[in-house]
A and B are shown apart, each in its own frame.
Chain A
């Protein structure tokens, strides 16, 4: 069919959710087509039958009926609610990444995608993923709002500055798929495109090992941690001035002025770039901001390092 037309009628289905989204899409298309055709037919029939030149019987004409009105309020309402529930179920599923998903880090900036794998493998405007395993993207923007859109996976999520956003998918077929930025981000918005390359898990592992030998994100984070002088306050004997970071990750942190914050990625990110936003109880707000000195990729590496500190301590 599509060969005849010269263009496809539906996008490729390459993720676990894609067939489910498409099913919903085609069902709604069916309903819409039925309603459109129904109304169009009704209009044509009435126009022909009751054209002012026709002698059709008009003596018992009706200008309203409460029963009919409530009928066409309630029936569509019921149908709509069904589609609402259906769409919501998929939406909630799309918003809940499974545990143990392969995590890949994405930084958007005008006008390129920088991608970093935990192993340290970095790429630009290409995203290599394994087939058959859930993959979760941790995304943040360096400047304005961007959006990671992979039509073949039916997923879409804005990438905001200053906030980690997550979206996940499981690829079902190896191949190359379009990666678009779909939130308008300035002059070269249409150039902020790339490819998702899906490969079988073994090939993916092999691919991770190729390329220039680079330190893993954790190692890079540890290096930054030393070079930026974080150790001066946060490590060893000097820790009187600053909170210790071992075992911190994932724990509640008491805050000055009451309340707690969970030490998650977002908290660590903000503590590095906006250290005054939340002050840990019992400490002076003396930490300088690293905003402008390090970019989001480095923050991601630092967070990866801090995560590892957390898990070391939390092991029994």
Chain B
């Protein structure tokens, strides 16, 4: 007799809201970040519609500024940063480790409530009229000049930051202490490695942001000069502190995506990931160098030329481990036995888009080019290729991959493939024109622009509508599959990994007996070809 699955272990609202089961908390996160994704996406839609013409005809300047600020704040802190760690990580990390739960289950639930409280502040901020500082809150504009709800916003971000810190702490301790017998570090799935590197960044960088935001709020409330030069403060100090967090934060966003892709590439090539140690090590290298490159956001901000040179050099250093990952993923395909299921399509799309996003990072680190394209659409396109093209592709790939495990149902494969394809095409149509716009010199955060930029903007807006379909499609068919999807077997992908050695969906305690690991990750036998 098999034990009752985590989905059936209590059906009341209370049994969900007070659950300390990592799998249920993952579902709670999934629902909440999806809601925020829709909010951020709605803002993006309005932005793209406004930019279809050079004139301000849809929204006013003020509304436009609030829209892109909302889009940035919501997408960065309420979607991208929590996305893979709190949903997929929460769900599969203990399963991959052969553990019954995270090390601190109640803390995990507390993190989710912190996220909700932070979200509440953001919601109130939205209802009361929004914020117009951009997600970067540059001083002294944010502290002394803006007339919008800056304090509410930063308090929301401050709180959600602690949610992120506690999640990181939980993952670190879990990875260290709750590995199943025989699961040595060199046998860990690569997703665990990347989550570990991510968690270290969450733990060490987020508190700096928290403190910076406190100082910003103090300056704004008490009108004292911490960052305002008129009162003896230093506006560049804010930028240093802000980017000390916010640059590593982009690695919080992308590293888990890289981990998911490593899993997908391994599984759907039925082959051990090429250069396992280098792929694992590159995650740690990215986390380490990620702490040393914040100044590349400030090449034209007034820091010294020498600082610019050092930060540019270090930025090239952080590019190397990213390149190493791409090469190793590609090499994994060689002599594999490739299955083009939906998750694999997402993973291959990720490699393409991440490569383009990463390579344009080289442009931005080549100082003189940054002097030209800084704060233009080139930068916008660069980080959307990484964050949306890369990270969201990985997230959706991961969701499809683990969906049978999470829900116990299979999604419709054909629609899955269609969505992966739509996303890839729509994404490139939306954002490739923005590289050109940036090179031509269109500054970011402009709601009106010179007419010669219109053709490219229209292309981008057209692409965005395809992209929107690509996002809505999975939302509908995944929900549909919850009721009508085929029942999922224990291991639909014939994957290795402990999470596939327990029923779909898993029982509350994950494993009936503690698994014992005797071999490395991705120990796929050579598969005989079959039609």
| Nearest CB in chain A: distance from B234 CB, A | 9
- The 0/1 profile, CB within 8 Å of A marked 1, for residues 30-68 of chain B is 000000000000000000000000000000011001000
Query: Are the C-beta atoms of A46 and B336 separated by less than 8 Å?
Result: yes
Given the known interface contacts A8-B452, A47-B333, A191-B61, the answer about A87 and B529 at a Cβ–Cβ threshold of 8 Å is no
Q: Which of A9, A46, A157 has the most CB of B within 10 A?
A: A46
> Does B141 make an interface contact (CB < 8 A)?
yes
Task: Kindly specify which of A58-66, A119-127, A197-205, A218-226 makes contact with the partner chain.
Answer: A58-66
Query: Are the C-beta atoms of B367 and A87 separated by less than 8 Å?
Result: yes
* Chain B residues whose CB sits within 8 angstroms of the CB of A291 once the complex forms: 230
* Chain B residues whose CB sits within 8 angstroms of the CB of A43 once the complex forms: 330, 333, 348, 351-352
Query: Are the C-beta atoms of B146 and A5 separated by less than 8 Å?
Result: no
Q: With the chains together, A268 CA to B339 CA distance in Å?
A: 70
Pick the residue among A5, A110, A158 that contacts B145 (CB under 8 A): A110
Query: Are the C-beta atoms of B338 and A25 separated by less than 8 Å?
Result: no
Task: Kindly specify which of A75-83, A100-108, A229-237 makes contact with the partner chain.
Answer: A75-83
Interface of A is mostly: mixed
Query: Are the C-beta atoms of B302 and A163 separated by less than 8 Å?
Result: yes
Q: With the chains together, A65 CA to B228 CA distance in Å?
A: 54
Chain A, range 67-98, C-beta contacts under 8 Å to B:
68-69, 72-73, 76-77, 80-81, 83-84, 86-88, 90-92, 94-95
> Does A277 make an interface contact (CB < 8 A)?
yes
* Chain A residues whose CB sits within 8 angstroms of the CB of B372 once the complex forms: 21, 25, 151, 154-156
Q: With the chains together, A69 CA to B279 CA distance in Å?
A: 10
Query: Are the C-beta atoms of B333 and A84 separated by less than 8 Å?
Result: no
* Chain A residues whose CB sits within 8 angstroms of the CB of B375 once the complex forms: 147, 149, 156, 182-184
| Nearest CB in chain B: distance from A151 CB, A | 2
* Chain A residues whose CB sits within 8 angstroms of the CB of B510 once the complex forms: none
> Does A253 make an interface contact (CB < 8 A)?
no
Chain B, range 364-387, C-beta contacts under 8 Å to A:
365-369, 371-372, 374-376
Given the known interface contacts A7-B455, A52-B339, A55-B529, the answer about A186 and B141 at a Cβ–Cβ threshold of 8 Å is yes
* Chain A residues whose CB sits within 8 angstroms of the CB of B300 once the complex forms: 147, 156-158
Query: Are the C-beta atoms of B362 and A180 separated by less than 8 Å?
Result: no
* Chain B residues whose CB sits within 8 angstroms of the CB of A65 once the complex forms: 275
> Does A287 make an interface contact (CB < 8 A)?
no
Pick the residue among A17, A51, A91 that contacts B338 (CB under 8 A): A51
Pick the residue among A9, A31, A60, A87 that contacts B369 (CB under 8 A): A87
Given the known interface contacts A39-B330, A156-B372, the answer about A47 and B340 at a Cβ–Cβ threshold of 8 Å is yes
Query: Are the C-beta atoms of B456 and A7 separated by less than 8 Å?
Result: yes
Q: With the chains together, A263 CA to B333 CA distance in Å?
A: 65
- The 0/1 profile, CB within 8 Å of A marked 1, for residues 148-169 of chain B is 0000000000000000000000
Interface of B is mostly: helix
Given the known interface contacts A39-B355, A63-B276, A156-B300, the answer about A190 and B446 at a Cβ–Cβ threshold of 8 Å is yes
Query: Are the C-beta atoms of B326 and A39 separated by less than 8 Å?
Result: yes
Query: Are the C-beta atoms of A50 and B338 separated by less than 8 Å?
Result: yes
> Does A239 make an interface contact (CB < 8 A)?
no
* Chain A residues whose CB sits within 8 angstroms of the CB of B236 once the complex forms: 160
- The 0/1 profile, CB within 8 Å of A marked 1, for residues 293-305 of chain B is 0000001111001
Chain A, range 252-298, C-beta contacts under 8 Å to B:
274, 277, 291
Q: With the chains together, A163 CA to B227 CA distance in Å?
A: 13
Task: Kindly specify which of B76-84, B176-184, B312-320 makes contact with the partner chain.
Answer: B312-320
Closest to B363 in A: A28
> Does A152 make an interface contact (CB < 8 A)?
yes
Query: Are the C-beta atoms of A182 and B444 separated by less than 8 Å?
Result: yes
Query: Are the C-beta atoms of B366 and A86 separated by less than 8 Å?
Result: yes
Query: Are the C-beta atoms of B526 and A156 separated by less than 8 Å?
Result: no
Query: Are the C-beta atoms of A178 and B272 separated by less than 8 Å?
Result: no
Query: Are the C-beta atoms of B316 and A80 separated by less than 8 Å?
Result: yes
Closest to A17 in B: B368
Q: With the chains together, A230 CA to B316 CA distance in Å?
A: 52
> Does B218 make an interface contact (CB < 8 A)?
no
Chain A, range 9-28, C-beta contacts under 8 Å to B:
9-11, 17, 20-21, 24-25, 28
Q: Which of A52, A94, A160 has the most CB of B within 10 A?
A: A52
Query: Are the C-beta atoms of A46 and B334 separated by less than 8 Å?
Result: yes
* Chain B residues whose CB sits within 8 angstroms of the CB of A165 once the complex forms: 302
* Chain A residues whose CB sits within 8 angstroms of the CB of B376 once the complex forms: 149, 151, 182
* Chain B residues whose CB sits within 8 angstroms of the CB of A6 once the complex forms: 455
> Does A245 make an interface contact (CB < 8 A)?
no
> Does B215 make an interface contact (CB < 8 A)?
no
Query: Are the C-beta atoms of B456 and A72 separated by less than 8 Å?
Result: no
Query: Are the C-beta atoms of A189 and B445 separated by less than 8 Å?
Result: yes
Q: With the chains together, A83 CA to B316 CA distance in Å?
A: 9
Query: Are the C-beta atoms of A161 and B275 separated by less than 8 Å?
Result: no
> Does A187 make an interface contact (CB < 8 A)?
yes
> Does A53 make an interface contact (CB < 8 A)?
yes
* Chain B residues whose CB sits within 8 angstroms of the CB of A68 once the complex forms: 275, 331
| Nearest CB in chain A: distance from B457 CB, A | 10
Query: Are the C-beta atoms of A25 and B369 separated by less than 8 Å?
Result: yes
* Chain A residues whose CB sits within 8 angstroms of the CB of B529 once the complex forms: 52-56
* Chain A residues whose CB sits within 8 angstroms of the CB of B374 once the complex forms: 156, 182
Closest to B275 in A: A64
Given the known interface contacts A36-B352, A47-B338, the answer about A53 and B448 at a Cβ–Cβ threshold of 8 Å is no
Query: Are the C-beta atoms of A64 and B277 separated by less than 8 Å?
Result: yes
| Nearest CB in chain B: distance from A76 CB, A | 5
> Does B477 make an interface contact (CB < 8 A)?
no
Chain B, range 434-482, C-beta contacts under 8 Å to A:
436, 439-441, 443-450, 452-456
Query: Are the C-beta atoms of A28 and B369 separated by less than 8 Å?
Result: yes
> Does A228 make an interface contact (CB < 8 A)?
no
Query: Are the C-beta atoms of A83 and B366 separated by less than 8 Å?
Result: yes
Pick the residue among B228, B332, B440 that contacts A10 (CB under 8 A): B440
Q: Which of A94, A110, A156, A277 has the most CB of B within 10 A?
A: A156
* Chain A residues whose CB sits within 8 angstroms of the CB of B235 once the complex forms: 145, 160-161
> Does A240 make an interface contact (CB < 8 A)?
no
Query: Are the C-beta atoms of B447 and A190 separated by less than 8 Å?
Result: yes
Query: Are the C-beta atoms of B531 and A72 separated by less than 8 Å?
Result: no
| Nearest CB in chain B: distance from A64 CB, A | 5
> Does B527 make an interface contact (CB < 8 A)?
yes
> Does A32 make an interface contact (CB < 8 A)?
yes
| Nearest CB in chain B: distance from A97 CB, A | 12
Closest to B315 in A: A84
* Chain B residues whose CB sits within 8 angstroms of the CB of A274 once the complex forms: 232
| Nearest CB in chain B: distance from A56 CB, A | 7
* Chain B residues whose CB sits within 8 angstroms of the CB of A246 once the complex forms: none
Q: Which 3 A-B pairs have the closest CB atoms?
A: A151-B441, A162-B229, A87-B366
Q: A6-B455, A183-B375 are in contact. List 5 more A-B contacts (CB 8 A).
A: A52-B527, A63-B276, A87-B369, A91-B371, A191-B61
Give 21 CB contacts A-B under 8 Å: A5-B455, A7-B452, A17-B368, A24-B368, A32-B360, A39-B330, A50-B336, A56-B335, A56-B529, A61-B271, A63-B273, A80-B320, A145-B140, A147-B300, A157-B371, A160-B229, A163-B229, A183-B375, A185-B141, A190-B445, A274-B232
